[in-house]
Structure formats: structure tokens, C-alpha cells
Amino acid sequence: MKGINLGRLIAAGVVAGVVMAAIDWLIYGRLMEQEVVDMIRRLNLNQFVVLESTTPWLVVDLIFGLLLAFTYVSIRPRFGPGPATAATAGVLLWLGVTAVLGGYMSMGVFTTQAYIKGSALFLGSSILASLAGGAVYRE
């Protein structure tokens, strides 16, 4: 990876992942708590398995943070360093994930209300995490 500071990229990704995890805890543990309970009931999920899925979701947040940082670093030469580019990276990945989750909504996994609320909150978390990671990265 010519021109990319790999150590800073990893640090930026970890920071972004930690920010994602913290915001996810707030979103799904507090702001969307009722939607999660409703989904567990509606889909007949084992609530204990759902509650025990914290570790896999921390790994998902870390991977997403690394992808945010990599996207920021990749588009930085064209868009320039700074918060606007970091926010753009966050929006790009948010669009991809939200499109996939929209497919799941169409299958009934998510209600329309939960999808819209979750997508809006996820947009904010994706941008904030990308801004945090972008603030750490230096060439």
C-alpha cells in the first residue's frame, strides 16, 4: 500500500470501531430497545442468544471501523484530508449497508419503522465513527 501509513490506518480503524461499538450500545440498548424486543418476539428469536451476541457485534464494529478508515484513506488523495472527506466515507459505507438492510426489510426481517429509525441512527454513527477515525489518520 504505497503512500498509506499502515500503522495509522489500523489505529484509525480501531478508533472508528470503538466509536461504532459505543454508539451501537446506545442505539440498540437504549434508543431502539423496544424495536429489538419486538423483533425478537416477531421473529421468534431466542432472547438469550440475542443478548449473548455482544462479542460478535464488537467484531463487526471493529471490522466496520477498519473499512471506514480504509475508505477514508482511499478517497483522501482525491477529496483531500479532513472532516468532509471522512463524512463522505461514512456516508458511502452507510449507503451500502443500508441498501442490504433494505432488502431484509422487504423480506419482513425489519419493520419499515424500525428500518427507517435504525438507518437514520446508523447514518449518524457511521459519520461520527468515520470522523473519529479520520482525525487519527496521518500520512
Q: How does pLDDT run across 86-116, given as a tens digit for each residue?
A: 999 999 999 999 999 999 999 999 999 999 9
Q: Would residue 25 count as lying in a domain?
A: yes
Q: Would residue 84 count as lying in a domain?
A: yes
Give the integer Cα–Cα distance in Å for 110 and 123. Answer: 17
Total number of domains constituting the chain: 1
The residue range of the domain holding 42 is 6-136
122, pLDDT greater than 80: yes
Q: Would residue 1 count as lying in a domain?
A: no
For residue 1, the model assigns a pLDDT of 52
Q: Would residue 10 count as lying in a domain?
A: yes
